[in-house]
C-alpha cells in the first residue's frame, strides 16, 4: 500500500463514460475468422497471371481453414492467425485458335503469424500433363502475386480490422 499521492499512476483507473476497458488494460479479443475468409476470397479469387503466351486465373478457394483474431492487452495489439488455403485456377493459351482450358490447383499450408510472407510454402499442380507450361507460369509469376496478396491480407488485418480495438483514453490524442 502506497502513501496517499505516491502511488503508481497506472493504479488510477480512468473514468470512462462507456465503462469499457479503462486504459485499454484488459485483454480484449476480436474474432477475425469470417472477415479473413471474406478478405482472402476478395484478394485471391479473380487474380490473373499472364505472360505473352498464357493466361491463368484463380477461380475459387476450395479450402480456407483456420482462424484469426486481433487482441488488445495493455494497449498493445497482438494478431493471431493460422490458415490452410487451397485454390483452383484455370489457364489457357492466349494466342492462336487453341482455347483449350487447363485446370490446376495451389496450396498454402502455413499462412500464420509465425511465418513471414517470404517463408510461406506455395505449391502448384496441374490436372493435364499438357498444361505444364501453365503450371510453370503459376510458379514463376503466380507465386509472387499470391505472396503479395497474402501480404496485403496481413496488412489489412493489422490496419483495417483492428480499428476500434484500442479505445481512446484521456491521455491519448486518438
DSSP 8-class letter at 91: E
In a domain, 20, yes or no: no
pLDDT tens for the chain, residues 1 to 174: 557 667 666 555 545 454 455 555 556 788 999 999 999 999 999 999 999 999 999 999 999 999 999 888 777 888 999 999 999 999 998 777 777 899 999 999 999 999 999 999 999 999 987 889 999 999 999 999 999 999 999 999 998 887 766 555 555 554
The pLDDT assigned to 4 comes to 67
| Residue 156 CB coordination number (10 Å) | 18
In a domain, 156, yes or no: yes
In a domain, 13, yes or no: no
Domain with 151 in it: what CATH number? 3.15.10.20
In a domain, 51, yes or no: yes
In a domain, 33, yes or no: yes
Place of cell 476450395: 62
The pLDDT assigned to 42 comes to 98
User: In terms of residue numbers, what domain contains 64?
Assistant: 25-161
DSSP element (H, E) containing 44: helix 33-44
In a domain, 6, yes or no: no
Task: Report the SS3 class of residue 13.
Answer: coil
In a domain, 132, yes or no: yes
The pLDDT assigned to 51 comes to 92
* Whole-angstrom distance, CA of residue 80 vs CA of residue 65: 14
Going by C-alpha positions, the residue among 77, 82, 85, 84 that lies closest to residue 112 is: 82
DSSP 8-class letter at 42: H
The pLDDT assigned to 16 comes to 45
Q: How many domains does the chain have?
A: 1
Amino acid at each position: 500500500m502506497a502513501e496517499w499521492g505516491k502511488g503508481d499512476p497506472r493504479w488510477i483507473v480512468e473514468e470512462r463514460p462507456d465503462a469499457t476497458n479503462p486504459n485499454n488494460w484488459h485483454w480484449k479479443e476480436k474474432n477475425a475468422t469470417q472477415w479473413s475468409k471474406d478478405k482472402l476470397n476478395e484478394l485471391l479469387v479473380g487474380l490473373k497471371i499472364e505472360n505473352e503466351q498464357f493466361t491463368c486465373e484463380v477461380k475459387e478457394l476450395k479450402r480456407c481453414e483456420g482462424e484469426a483474431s486481433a487482441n488488445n492487452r495493455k494497449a498493445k495489439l497482438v494478431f493471431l492467425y493460422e490458415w490452410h488455403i487451397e485454390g483452383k485456377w484455370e489457364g489457357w493459351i492466349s494466342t492462336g485458335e487453341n482455347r483449350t482450358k487447363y485446370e490446376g490447383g495451389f496450396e498454402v499450408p502455413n499462412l500464420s503469424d509465425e511465418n513471414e510472407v517470404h517463408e510461406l510454402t506455395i505449391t502448384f499442380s496441374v490436372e493435364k500433363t499438357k498444361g505444364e507450361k501453365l503450371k510453370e507460369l503459376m510458379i514463376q509469376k503466380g507465386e509472387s502475386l499470391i505472396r503479395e496478396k497474402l501480404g496485403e491480407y496481413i496488412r489489412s488485418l493489422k490496419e483495417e480490422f483492428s480499428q476500434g480495438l484500442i479505445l481512446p483514453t484521456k491521455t491519448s490524442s486518438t
